[in-house]
Each structure stands twice: as structure tokens, then as C-alpha cells.
Structure 1
Amino acid sequence: MREQLLHKINNKTKPLGSLGLLETIAMQVGMIQGTTSPAINQPHIVVFAGDHGIAETGLVNPYPQAVTAQMVLNFLNGGAAINVFCRQHNITLHVVDAGVNHAFGPAPAGQSGDRFIDAKMGLGTANYLEGPAMSETTATAAIEKGKSIVQAIAGSGGNCVGFGEMGIGNTSSASLIMSAVTGIPLAACVGRGTGVNDEQLQTKINTLGQAYALHRLPELRHQPVALLSRVGGFEIAMMAGAYLQAAEEKMVIVVDGFIASAALLLAQLINPSVVSHCIFAHTSGEQGHEKMLQHLQATTLLHLGMRLGEGTGAALAIPLIRSAVNFLQEMASFESAGVSNIEATT
């Protein structure tokens, strides 16, 4: 299949390699789908939202925890950046209540029920400065719920999916997970999140250091469920499950930023082959993301200095992935166009 795809790519009316990374993407999508005629059908973005108990302390985040629920309502009313990009590029958006500290009801005002998924595992996680964020049973249930959400998308005909998140305090969970899995020192993994100043950043690093020591995270490096239960979030656990199911469904997975990549680290521990289904949308402005990408040996499509989350990087990358597939499908070959190819020389 790889040889067939390479032949098809190289015989388009262009100099060899002249479409750069788009050629790499065309090859990857073809390999994921097992065809020389790949297609991107009904792309979806799924935004998982959840609250974190540590956010109530105010030690790791400048915004109050209530912003998570407020932003979910903003998503459902179509007012966030992810809404704008999904509308522009004809991407279906789903918003998942994985565990927000708010009672939304089955179908919140401003959005039809099929775009809102009530998968609430609780009213936010527990404060992991005092004990585990959740039980291992709950972490496993959240992973399974993430799988079921993607299974439904695949069943509806979607074959390309990107994941986003919303949760005040979730860069802290992602930093702890990153450090535990990669072995990179915690201080090099912790960034400014939603915009902490220098003093707040140092407090954040010190606070997370306490959690790191309390839960003896290096011992959990190869235990993704245990790691999630100690310092994870409901939205991160569901996203990890979503990655696993998307790979099982042979979907094209578009990886967003820092938190989405941390969830992928966990999914990779469970199934190392999941990364072969992933296209990495962008390099986040969050300081640990580039180091995480290096650990994953990933090349990203975009370098825009973004660090918003919500799946915004994935939504911007999907049109590029479509372009890669479309050139492979629609661009003339040298033979069909009657254009002379490079002649062999001695």
C-alpha cells in the first residue's frame, strides 16, 4: 500500500516532493484507511469539559472554577472560537459534559440535544493535594465513555475526529501527567495556562510539586489508569478513551494542543499504535508542549503561538488534511494530463 501511494503521489503533475508535508499527510491518511483513494468524511470535533478540585484552591489558576461551566454554555450558544472555526470549515461540533461542577440538564438552552452529550462522571474531581482525584474504577469508566462517544461518531459516517477540552485547572493535570510519563522535570512541564503571572507561576509549580510527591508519580509512569486516578481529570480520561476508539475505528485523529497531547500520552501507554493514526495540528504556546511533541516524535502542521485549547488547532488543521486528500484524489497525473515527466539521464 505504501508503495502504491508513493507511486500515485509522485506521478501527480508536480516536481517530486514539492507539496511538502501535504504529501506526508496524504500518505498517512491513505495508510490509515488502507486505500490509495482516501477521503475525509464528516469531520467532527469533540470538546470534553470537566472541572478539577484543585481549581477551587486558586493556587494553580487565575480564573475561578465557574468559568468552565460558563464556557460550556458559550460553546452551546455558538460564541466561542471553536464554534467560529467549525462553522467556517463545516465541521460537526460536539460538547461533552465529562464532569463539570454545574447541572446543565439534558439539552441546555441554545443548542440541540445532538450536539450536547451528558456524560457527567461527577461534579468535578477531588482535590489531588489531599488525595486521589478519582477512583481507578471511575477513571476506567470515563475511558470507556470516551470510547462509546467516538464509536457513535464512527457509526454515523465520520472518519476524521479532533478532540478539544475545557476545564479550569486542566493544564496542571496535564503537566503532572507529562512529567510522570516522560520523566521531564516538573518545572519544565508547567506553563502559564490561562495566563498566570510570574509569581502565580512559581506558586503553581510549588503546588504541583507537592502533588507530585504526595502521589509518588514516577512510580506510576507505566500505569495510565492509576496515574489518571491520582491527578487526572474526567475530560482527560474520556479523551484518552476517545483516542483509543478512534484508532480502533481506523479514523484519522487530529491532535490539538498541550492537554490533548497529555491525554494521548496516556492512550499510547494503553495502545502504542494509536499514534500512527494521529496528525498533530499545531505546536502550542504552552511551554511543555514542544517537549511533549519531541517525546512523541511528532511533526506539527501549524506554528501559530496558540494556547487556547477547545480543539481550535485541530479545527484549523482539518482543512489542510482535506487539501492533502483532495490533491491525491483530484490532481492530474503526468499521463492523464499529457505532461512530460522527468526523463531518465545517464
Structure 2
Amino acid sequence: MLRWTNLQEIPSGFGPSVVTLGNFDGVHRGHRALLGTVVREAALREAQAVAVTFDPPPLAVLHPDRAPVQIAGLEHRLDLMAGTGVDAVLVLEFTEALAAQTPEEFVRTVFVEALGATGVVLGSDSRFGVRNSGNIDTMRELGVTHDFAVIELHAVGETTAGERNWSSTHLRRLLGDGAVAEAAEILGRPHRVTGEVVHGHHRGRELGFPTANLGSETAGLVPADGVYAGWLERLDLPLGDPERRLPAAISVGTNPTFDDVPERTVEAHVLDRTDLNLYHEHVGVDFVARLRGNVRFDSIEELLTQIGQDVDVSRSLLFG
């Protein structure tokens, strides 16, 4: 998959293409349905399938006080988008100047002149252009002007919890509640945060349960405090390496039993392993199921007993 970060990187005369536009935060099943439609429409038209997205997201520039943490980091998003079969992704830096463009200016400059769009796939609730003044009807009018077809995609998806569309907003609520299993229904996979393994207090190793401690610069929305079963993926190792994806019990929070962890941390203990040295590795932590909330224990013995139980439950959930 081609990746561009500005219009100048797009080859002259690129196209024809079928294009879509969005933040694609999380690249959940609704997003993949949209991108899958782009791929199919591009194949029918013997065109390139292209997605246009933004970094930072528009809300982070226009209303930073209201901007939520991104569900997935940019690199993870791009990897997930590559898995949908799109041929290229254009990641535009969202600036005040870009925000000031009219819908016509944006579509003409990006879709028509840079990408040679012959088709545009757009969700029925999509907005674009200055003050979000463009919508699906605007895109149809521009399609007539610039000779491209517009394919409208209505919201799709429903979770087992009720009549809800697959949406990033609902996904954030679930992760904020620690409902990672329900979030996986929308994502189509376990939720992941990524980061570099750094030195912590080394308390886990002293207790017999060493942990990979992600630094403060994690990418992705960290779910609610608690203990989870999941996986640790060593992203620096090649795909297929048996040591790349490892089962883990994961702790999120400030560790209330001790008083020297003022900030929330994500720590993953690889099950039944004390021989790993993961410092400075780039890893992904996948959350499969929430086991419990955080508890302050009165003694180290009580803590160790509970950790042992958490490890046993994690092993059972991950391996059946």
C-alpha cells in the first residue's frame, strides 16, 4: 500500500481512482465496510482504491479542549487500512488553512486534480470543508461538476448489546468502561495500545511476576483501570516468529497497593515467562477480557495470591 503525507508526493497523472474520506479512528468494522466498498468499486472501474485521512484529527486543531484520545495510533491505523486492500492512503496534515477550504476547493484540489477521482464513496453522515459545510448532497453536486460518481454508504453494524451502529463514539464509551470484549465486537479484533517497553520500579520481577512496562508515550486509547487478559506482540520481531505474540495478564492503573506510582501505567506480564528482556522493544498490548477492577491489598501475600489467580484466569481465557 502506498502512503503519502502531502499532495506533492502523489505521482503526476495518478488515477483513475475511487476515493473515500474519513478519520478512520480505530479502523473498526464500519470503517472496513466503507473501505471494502471503495476496493470493490475501484475494481469495477479498473481504478485505484484510495483513502484520505488526517493527522492530527480535525477536532484536535479546531477544538483541542474537546478532542478525545485517538482509539488507535497512526501507524496502527495505517497497518489496519493496508489490510483492507486499499491501494493508497493520503495522510493530510490538518491545519487552519486546510480547515478554511470550501468543500469545492478541497474536492477539486485533492480528489480531482491530485487523485484523478472517477468515483467517491462517502458515508451518509460525512461532513467536509470549512465549518463542515459539505455533506453527501454537496458531494453529489460536485460529482456532476467534476464528472465523478458518488456512492453513498449508510451506517452499518449492530452489537449484541443492542441496536447500535459500529461507531468510534460508542467504542470510546466501551473502552472507558473497560468493556474490551464488547469493544472487540465493533473492532473485529482485540483493542490495542502500542509503546516502548521502559524501566519501571522492577517490583514485578522482585515479586516473581516480571512485567513489560509501557512508557507514558503510548499510542491508542488506554481502557479503564483494571486487570485484563490479553496478548503482548513484539512488533520488532518478524511476522511468524514464535516469540512475537505472547499471552499476558495486563494491569492498567496506578497500582493502589503501593504509593509510588502517581501516573497510570500499562504493564503486561507474559504468562509463565521470567526469562524475557523486553526493554526498549516496541510492543503492542491487546486487551481480550477484563478480569477485575483495581484493589488495594493489605499485604504483599494477598497481592501475590490475587496475581496468581489473575494469571490462572488469563491462561484459561486465552487458551480455553
| Higher RCO (CA-CA < 8 Å; seq separation 6+) | 1
* Structure with the bigger percentage of helix: 1
What TM-score do you get using the length of structure 2 for normalisation?
A: 0.23
What TM-score do you get using the length of structure 1 for normalisation?
A: 0.22
Higher Cα Rg: structure 1 or 2?
Answer: 2
